[in-house]
Each structure stands twice: as C-alpha cells, then as structure tokens.
Amino acid sequence: MADDFAADGQLAQAISGFKPREPQRHMAEAVTRAIKATQPLVVEAGTGTGKTYAYLAPALRAK
C-alpha cells in the first residue's frame, strides 16, 4: 500500500489541513492486511482517529 497517510501522501495533497495520525496509519495497515488475506477485521478506535479514511483508502486501492 502506498503511504497515503504520510505528511506528503495522497490525503495530505487532497485535503487541506490534513495531519498524519499514527493510529490512522496502523488501522489502514490492518485493513490492508485483512483485505489481502480476505479475512474479517473489527477495529475499535476513538473519535478523531480517522477511521473513515483508514478503511476507505485501502479498500479503494484493493484489486
């Protein structure tokens, strides 16, 4: 997976004021692994983690 969540990644380029969040990156990595393994994944994360993009970006990149 490309690092969409880096300070200079795709999200930072597309979203004004985007700030990288390590929990968001970890969740995206877990989602990517689950998609590749075709396994379910349940993630609990607090408000402000960035859950929406953390699952959407890997899902959009999945083949």
Query: Is 11 a domain residue?
Result: no
Distances (CA, A) of 41 to 11, 16, 44, 63: 23, 30, 10, 18
Domain that holds residue 34: 21-61
Query: Is 14 a domain residue?
Result: no
Query: Is 16 a domain residue?
Result: no
Query: Is 12 a domain residue?
Result: no
Q: What is the pLDDT of residue 59?
A: 94
Q: What is the pLDDT of residue 1?
A: 55
Question: For the chain, what is the domain count?
Answer: 1
pLDDT in tens, 1-57: 568 999 999 999 999 999 999 999 999 999 999 999 999 999 999 999 999 999 999
